[in-house]
Amino acid sequence: MSADVKAKAGLEDIVATTSAICYLDGERGVLAYCGHDIHDLARHATFEEVCFLLWHRRLPTRRELGDLQTQLASARALPEPVLRLLRQIPPVDGMDALRTGVSALAHFDPDATDQSPQATYRKAVRLTAQVGSLVATYGRMAAGGGPLAPDPALGTAANFLYMLTGTRPDAVAARAFDIALILHADHELNASTFAARVTAATLSDIHSTIVSAVGTLKGPLHGGANAEVMRMLLEIGEDAGPDRAEAHVRSMLGRKEKVPGFGHRVYRTEDPRATHLRRMSKELGERVGRTRWFEMSERIEAVVVREKKLNPNVDFYSASTYYTLGIPIDLFTPIFAVSRVSGWTAHVLEQYENNRLIRPRAEYTGPTYPQRWLPLDQR
């Protein structure tokens, strides 16, 4: 490697590829999918429309949306052998169950050995439908319930909540979760998406690329912050109130501990996704008469912004949003995958379209070359 080429830790700000899927401007706090601003999508789109947008780089017509909704509905049911596997898995982290489940699905996909673009697209649709079913079913089993068949009349968000809780959600809850899925659908070359593209670049199958992504998301430096936020709030206690929350976070800062849910590798201003999740946390709390989680979160945000100049990221208010929807904390990170599988598959499809093996270089920092060989008895 040329001496003037220097490594950057974590590949920070290194441009690794071109992509037509996601646009980020960290200085201005802009996130857009295929040119469509995330605020417009959160206000007007459905998750299914966003899936089509990510896969096709344009919004669907009414007929195209209906076709996609039908395809997703017909693919949501899990094969019986996969359900048996989920029953047999010992108590594990939800991400471990998801990783195993995605790998198992490959064995029962009708296009498993077909690597054509058409078959790979069909597998992307099926994976997007099935990941939600995997997470909801595993969550229901972990709580002692039996698996529920998906309802073909419900969309992705409503079906997830129904398959998890056994109760069909009302329109407000379904729309709130639908927006959460939209906000998490893609985020350029984050760690899990990059892992998926690296795997795709070897021309491995799409199920393997999603297993790579799930394994990467499992790491606490990528996924899990919203679960940590909720555990922090629970540690403070719902009855403690905003004053106690402020004292708790000040104590954390005094000990130089990181407050989960703040700061971002890209954004230098507020994460645009946090804007909507803050509102949803407030509105859902008011709706069920449990506003304390939002009030505590709001006070914590004020302290961290003032003291550390860090803004909340997508994880901070998603914690209280999910918890108010009745979702168990252990499913917070797997839910990220329920949404992000749409972006992962979009990037994998794009990688396949114009593929080149991803093979970066490393700046060597080992012993000086050449080293003198010493016989064994002289070492």
Q: Taking 70 as the threshold, does the pLDDT of residue 17 lie above it?
A: yes
- Residue of 277, 231, 269, 272 lying closest to 252 (CA atoms): 231
- pLDDT of 76 reads 98
Instruction: Please state, in angstroms and rounded to a whole number, the distance separating the CA atoms of residues 329 and 345.
Output: 26
So where are the chain's domains?
225-324
Instruction: Please state, in angstroms and rounded to a whole number, the distance separating the CA atoms of residues 109 and 79.
Output: 9
pLDDT by residue (tens digit) across 149-192?
999 999 999 999 999 999 999 999 999 999 999 999 999 999 99
Instruction: Please state, in angstroms and rounded to a whole number, the distance separating the CA atoms of residues 112 and 206.
Output: 9
- pLDDT of 12 reads 72
pTM of the model: 0.93
Q: Taking 80 as the threshold, does the pLDDT of residue 366 lie above it?
A: yes
- pLDDT of 267 reads 87
Q: Poorest-confidence range of 1-15, 88-102, 116-130?
A: 1-15
pLDDT by residue (tens digit) across 316-326?
999 999 999 99
Instruction: Please state, in angstroms and rounded to a whole number, the distance separating the CA atoms of residues 182 and 38.
Output: 8
Instruction: Please state, in angstroms and rounded to a whole number, the distance separating the CA atoms of residues 284 and 282.
Output: 6
- Burial class from Cβ neighbours inside 10 Å (0-12, 13-18, 19+) for residue 205 reads buried
Q: Taking 90 as the threshold, does the pLDDT of residue 223 lie above it?
A: no
Cβ proximity of 344 and 192 under 8 Å: yes
- Burial class from Cβ neighbours inside 10 Å (0-12, 13-18, 19+) for residue 312 reads buried
**Residues of the chain above pLDDT 90, percent:** 87
In the structure encoding, which two tokens stand for residue 145, read together?
């319930």
- pLDDT of 238 reads 81
For helices 117-142 and 80-88, what crossing angle results, to 10°? 40
Q: Taking 50 as the threshold, does the pLDDT of residue 3 lie above it?
A: no
Measured CA distances, 231 to 261, 278, 279, 363 (Å):
12, 18, 21, 40
- Positions marked active-site: 264, 315
Instruction: Please state, in angstroms and rounded to a whole number, the distance separating the CA atoms of residues 41 and 37.
Output: 6
- Residue of 78, 21, 28, 80 lying closest to 51 (CA atoms): 21
- pLDDT of 11 reads 75
Amino acid 276 reads H
- pLDDT of 44 reads 98
Distance between first and last Cα of the chain: 31
Instruction: Please state, in angstroms and rounded to a whole number, the distance separating the CA atoms of residues 71 and 75.
Output: 6
- The residues pairing with 22 across neighbouring beta strands, listed in sequence order, are 33
332 compared with 266, residue with greater pLDDT:
332
Assign 3-state DSSP to the chain and report helix, strand, coil percentages, each to 5.
Answer: 60, 5, 35
Interior/surface letters 122-158, b for 16+ CB within 10 angstroms, e for the rest: bbbbbbbbbbbbbbbbbbbbbeeeebbebeeebbbbb
pLDDT by residue (tens digit) across 48-105?
999 999 999 999 999 999 999 999 999 999 999 999 999 998 888 899 999 999 999 9
Q: Taking 50 as the threshold, does the pLDDT of residue 244 lie above it?
A: yes
- pLDDT of 37 reads 97
- Residue 2 pLDDT level (bands cut at 50, 70, 90): very low
Most distant CA atoms of the chain, gap in Å: 78
* Topology annotation, domain 225-324: Cytochrome p450-Terp; domain 2 (1.10.230)
Specify the DSSP element, H or E, that contains 138.
helix 117-142
Q: What is the mean pLDDT of the chain?
A: 94
